Chain A
């Protein structure tokens, strides 16, 4: 199978246990990931959904070599990665780029947008002039005005910064864009514009995506396949429509029920069901 971009088999990540004797400190959180199998094919979008602490971000970081795994195999484009995070990262950087949740910390505050994007392009051998021209077309691809290039990150809103981060990631021509909750810090209306942007860019650049989020409805819109994670395990996976529209697991159903919809009648009905179930 040479169309597999990244594959993890039986990946486990164990963080060091609690150091203090504190009663409430990270009880039972030593295992961040337990036997995870995950695969992203070329051009495919895989969604990972779960609550905070479910291990979804850890999984992405492990695949990118930002967190060391304790066992399991990881292969990028069919090449098996060594155990060290360093080694995984060296393979991953050829194919993948990352978009972060926090749009504020992910750009160097001392660099203009142009220098941040051009730096990536220059490293890939472009001349100064070509890099500038390409940076311009990238910033326009994420629907920001070309005048943005001369400004500093502090001058942009969260949604705009997220677009800049995406443009910088695209400059590296990734085959896989890993998006770690890129919408969670944004307004609902900004979110829907960003979803449209992700869909547009995916078509245009033919990238695969690993899209992480806690909102099943949002992740569903973008994904071909979905994994639902809970306490470091995959509880359900399958085609995105199956998981979202015909969930088999109770946990997945609870996640879907929790997403509010802008309809007071529906919310009231759900509330009644919830209270009936909990016996209140």
Chain B
């Protein structure tokens, strides 16, 4: 959650290319996908050019020269009737590829609209279709296709239509699941309120958003169809001799495999190669479509020196809890560095709360993330020092840093429900965290967990331990997050907009709680917010951040009554517009 919001902030600096060229670039970056694409294109072109390349055609027999090994005149040898295998493979592509495409296309034609409709309408239609698709999917596909062919007649087209029918439930299920996930998005609600027709909503608004997984399924189906077609031909279904489909070639050659093992290689290889290339291409296209959506991994910083720091002229017992000096955060692209946060200096004293105020995109969350070494790639700490109680976190290795997280510094976030694991009870999450920090038995950790919940003023803590995060309101979930943060007895709590997502009444409660905990534990708090009114409530001092720089830092009284900077004045005026005139 946090990584995402930081990425959004960082993305603003990156600029944006048109979507289509971005897609092509992403595709070109995947060598396997490019190779798979080239292989497929070559196979298709060679098949199309067969009449030009070998005008003699696939039926020319030479019974004097059967089972010939590969030679200059017959590149892949000859088969049991002395026909040139290479020629038959080329002409076979003209049969096999369109047939596989037909099966896939038919499966899509039936499956996708059905899946869209079923997912969109739900209800009885969904249940009825589910019975049919589930039934079809319980049978082995090829056997079902064989029985269908027996009914509708044994031609290649019929066999492929039967295969398409057998493949269609996979499309139905996939499209349905994707529609269910998309259907309740606000832009679909908006489309309904704009009075758009249902087919328009389905095909114009939902379909483009679910196309990526469908592409994978399409290429997969194509591979399956190719293989299934070979299997059917093996059983004499679909293609009739002497037509040169790949599957029937494989079937023919298998008869003589014991005596002439090379016979199965060309047809087998071309089927495997085509199926593999199609699958890989599908994977690559999906990945390229989805590229940039997923957050990237955290990357280590470059600065390395002795983490023990001495600020000149500061005795150890007088040093600040948190001292950030000249922190610069940036990313490298094509050999040049772009900085997003410039020379930030900030101090938090023990037992004090310091506010870091700014609009979204000002770099305040990035600064917070840098303290714990949680910058998302490609961002890095470029320069500066982050000293927590005399140790420079910016110079530490990941292992050293991990020991400080939760103990020296803990963090709470804007969206508590996204920060809790939805599949674990909050008791399990608390106990796990407590034992990570302090070890000890489960029973002891459980006791501590109950104590912590009581500390954050959650009633009936014994019972609430067994509850899951979704059973908590936003305010209660934030209390649980605070309890988790307290588990390591941190000296510094970094609070990244912890009340922004809450109701004003709940916000008051959480601020009161944080204030009380600070009095009890003496921890320092770095409070990140966009709201100066919240700063007025909880902070002792505050820094105002704008476009990656700190504009001014002072006590809250001075900042709000006599600000130095014109931007601060505007911020205060902005709040004043929306806040009380006669509220007191």
Q: Which positions in A face B, CB cutoff 8 Å? A: 22-25, 51-53, 64, 66, 89, 92-94, 96-98, 100, 102, 105-111, 119-120, 123, 151-152, 154-155, 157-158, 165, 168-169, 172, 187-193, 195, 214-215, 217-218, 221, 244-245, 254-264, 266-267, 271, 274
Contact among B473, B535, B579 for A259, CB-based, below 8 A = B579
Are B186 and A102 touching (Cβ within 8 A)? yes
Contact among A25, A98, A189, A254 for B189, CB-based, below 8 A = A98
For B405, what are the chain A residues with a Cβ–Cβ distance below 8 Å? none
Contact among B464, B508, B512, B560 for A264, CB-based, below 8 A = B560
Are B560 and A217 touching (Cβ within 8 A)? no
Kindly name the residue among A97, A165, A258 whose own CB sees the greatest number of chain B CB atoms within 10 A.
A258
Whether B138 is near chain A, meaning CB under 8 Å from some CB there, is no
A94–B463 Cα gap in the complex (Å)?
50
Shortest B355–chain A CB gap in Å is 11
Are B194 and A120 touching (Cβ within 8 A)? yes
Shortest A94–chain B CB gap in Å is 8
Are B208 and A110 touching (Cβ within 8 A)? yes
Are B534 and A260 touching (Cβ within 8 A)? yes
A255–B506 Cα gap in the complex (Å)?
10
Instruction: List 26 A-B pairs, Cβ < 8 Å.
Output: A24-B467, A51-B505, A52-B474, A52-B503, A100-B186, A106-B186, A109-B187, A111-B205, A119-B196, A123-B195, A187-B359, A188-B531, A188-B574, A188-B578, A189-B359, A192-B575, A192-B577, A214-B504, A255-B504, A256-B580, A257-B583, A260-B531, A261-B575, A262-B533, A264-B557, A264-B560
Q: In residues 157-197 of chain B, which contact A (Cβ within 8 Å)?
A: 185-187, 189-196
| A107 to B, closest residue via Cβ | B187
For B473, what are the chain A residues with a Cβ–Cβ distance below 8 Å? 52-53
Are A22 and B208 touching (Cβ within 8 A)? no
Contact among A102, A168, A172, A189 for B571, CB-based, below 8 A = A189
Given the interface contacts A24-B467, A98-B189, does A260 sit within 8 Å of B359 by beta carbon? Answer: no
Q: How many residues of B contact A (CB 8 A)?
A: 58
A33–B19 Cα gap in the complex (Å)?
44
A259–B534 Cα gap in the complex (Å)?
9
| A216 to B, closest residue via Cβ | B504
Shortest B103–chain A CB gap in Å is 28
A266–B190 Cα gap in the complex (Å)?
42
A35–B90 Cα gap in the complex (Å)?
75
For B505, what are the chain A residues with a Cβ–Cβ distance below 8 Å? 51, 254-255, 258
| A159 to B, closest residue via Cβ | B360
For B556, what are the chain A residues with a Cβ–Cβ distance below 8 Å? 264
A189–B533 Cα gap in the complex (Å)?
12
| B211 to A, closest residue via Cβ | A110
A-B contact count (CB 8 A): 172
Contact among B186, B463, B579 for A23, CB-based, below 8 A = B463
Given the interface contacts A64-B193, A97-B193, A123-B196, does A267 sit within 8 Å of B537 by beta carbon? Answer: yes
Contact among A155, A187, A217 for B579, CB-based, below 8 A = A217
* Interface SS, B side: helix
| A180 to B, closest residue via Cβ | B186
Are B534 and A105 touching (Cβ within 8 A)? no
Shortest B578–chain A CB gap in Å is 5
Are B195 and A262 touching (Cβ within 8 A)? no
For A22, what are the chain B residues with a Cβ–Cβ distance below 8 Å? 471
Whether B55 is near chain A, meaning CB under 8 Å from some CB there, is no
| A193 to B, closest residue via Cβ | B574
Are A93 and B504 touching (Cβ within 8 A)? no
Are A108 and B209 touching (Cβ within 8 A)? yes
For B186, what are the chain A residues with a Cβ–Cβ distance below 8 Å? 100, 102, 105-106
Q: In residues 16-61 of chain B, which contact A (Cβ within 8 Å)?
A: 16, 19
For B560, what are the chain A residues with a Cβ–Cβ distance below 8 Å? 262-264
Whether B536 is near chain A, meaning CB under 8 Å from some CB there, is yes
A199–B304 Cα gap in the complex (Å)?
54
| A184 to B, closest residue via Cβ | B501
Whether B282 is near chain A, meaning CB under 8 Å from some CB there, is no
18 new A-B pairs (CB below 8 Å) besides A120-B194, A151-B16, A193-B574? A52-B503, A64-B193, A188-B531, A188-B533, A188-B575, A191-B574, A191-B578, A192-B577, A217-B583, A218-B578, A254-B505, A255-B504, A257-B508, A258-B503, A260-B504, A261-B533, A262-B536, A271-B512
Given the interface contacts A51-B506, A256-B583, does A158 sit within 8 Å of B360 by beta carbon? Answer: yes
A269–B130 Cα gap in the complex (Å)?
63
A168–B190 Cα gap in the complex (Å)?
9
For A106, what are the chain B residues with a Cβ–Cβ distance below 8 Å? 186-187, 189-190
